[in-house]
Amino acid sequence: MKISFSKVDCSGRELEYVTRVIQSGWLTTANMCLEFERKFADFIGVKYALAVNSCTAALHLAVNSIGIKAGDKIFVPVMTFTATAEIIRYLNADPVFLDVEYKTSLLSPEILEAGIKKHPNVKAVILVHYAGQSVNMSQILPICRRHNIKVIEDAAHAFPTKYSGRYVGSFGNITCYSFYANKTITSGEGGMIVTENKDTYESIKCMRLHGINRDIWDRFTTMNKWEYDVIAPGFKYNMSDINAAVGLAQFERAEEFRKERERCAKHYFEELEQLKELDLPALQCNWHEHSWHLFPIVLTEESPVSRDEFIKQLNARGIGISVHYKPLHRMTYYRMQYNLLPENFPNAERRWQGGISLPIFPLMTNDELFYVTNSIKDILLNK
């Protein structure tokens, strides 16, 4: 049996919507993007949403919009993809790296408090909602308010994730989503920014397309109103209507997809939670509030095989896996630029040494799930 790490379900209205865009004769940012933005904002429960061409672009625009300057510092958890930190360097500012909880890979209030005590002049924090589970917003947001730290949420893993009954995206200053090919919904390439702040919205809307003060669709559809002005040195970060068409069709099935991912996660818990050779992800929310983008496990000291040997044996059985993540303190650039040492990030280091992400996607069949869990048991128990 061959099981990929991820597989996209495009059996909804993707083709219909893409065809509609192609037949319109206008393929870049237009009505489909606007519809996607409106529906996304309404779903999250915020005033504004802006579609962009990646979550990296979203994060860059977010950090730029809060006035970060060269030499400023922003907290970033080390257990994340490089984009979360690299966009800070775009502005010649500096990430200040923090460890995460071992059980969840999330930034905890205690870790944040310790970071603030050591680095009292940090301007902002990027909260990463890891694997589809939200950080503890009810405790972290008061800490940030108390220390005048602005909050950007990296929700690349977290749609449609909830915290205490509210969707992620309705808490912080700005929230950024990813619609990359393997995410919970996809537009192929793309992302979304949501905010409640009108000034933030207007700033990002301008900066996502070259700093131009009128969007291209407005200029195209308004007769004799061709003129525009460049009011800032912006970026080329807009989403095309073709990508928005795919994203909108996926968005319409977001909860359906989430339920199917939950089905996969429940199977993994039922079949693997008794194995002392594995640590499964800690669930600190209700099942239905988790979007289950990833299912990360960690091999314990009881495992008869190393992490790399475990991966090799799963691959030999046709099972695709991934690792989320090699933490940023182990990446050459960040390690050397900031003199990062593994012993300063013990929880992330422990997760990295034994961490593996199992296949989890809506199209995964029960037979495939049993094949994965039976293979894991065979490797760990019959060595």
Just list the catalytic residues.
Answer: 183
Amino acid at 202: E
Longest dimension (CA), the chain: 75
- How far apart are alpha carbons 279 and 295 in whole angstroms? 11
- How far apart are alpha carbons 76 and 119 in whole angstroms? 12
CA 166 vs. chain centroid, Å, equals 17
Amino acid at 151: V
Copy the structure tokens of residue 28. Answer: 């870049």
- How far apart are alpha carbons 190 and 180 in whole angstroms? 6
- How far apart are alpha carbons 146 and 113 in whole angstroms? 11
- Using H for helix, E for strand and C for coil, what is the string for 152-196? EEECCCCCCCEECCEECCCCCCEEEEECECCCCCCCECCEEEEEC
**Burial class, 144, CB count within 10 angstroms (exposed 0-12 / middle 13-18 / buried 19+):** buried
Q: Which whole-number Å values give the CA distances from 32 to 71, 323, 372, in the listed order?
A: 39, 35, 39
Closest by CA to 63, choosing from 174, 199, 178, is 174
**Please, are residues 55 and 81 in contact by the beta-carbon 8 Å criterion?**
no
**Please, are residues 297 and 358 in contact by the beta-carbon 8 Å criterion?**
yes
Q: What is the DSSP string of 70-100?
A: TT-EEEEESSS-THHHHHHHHTT-EEEEE--
**Please, are residues 141 and 112 in contact by the beta-carbon 8 Å criterion?**
no
Q: Which whole-number Å values give the CA distances from 87 to 68, 81, 95, 146, in the listed order?
A: 11, 11, 9, 25
Q: Residue with structure tokens 């979007």?
A: 291
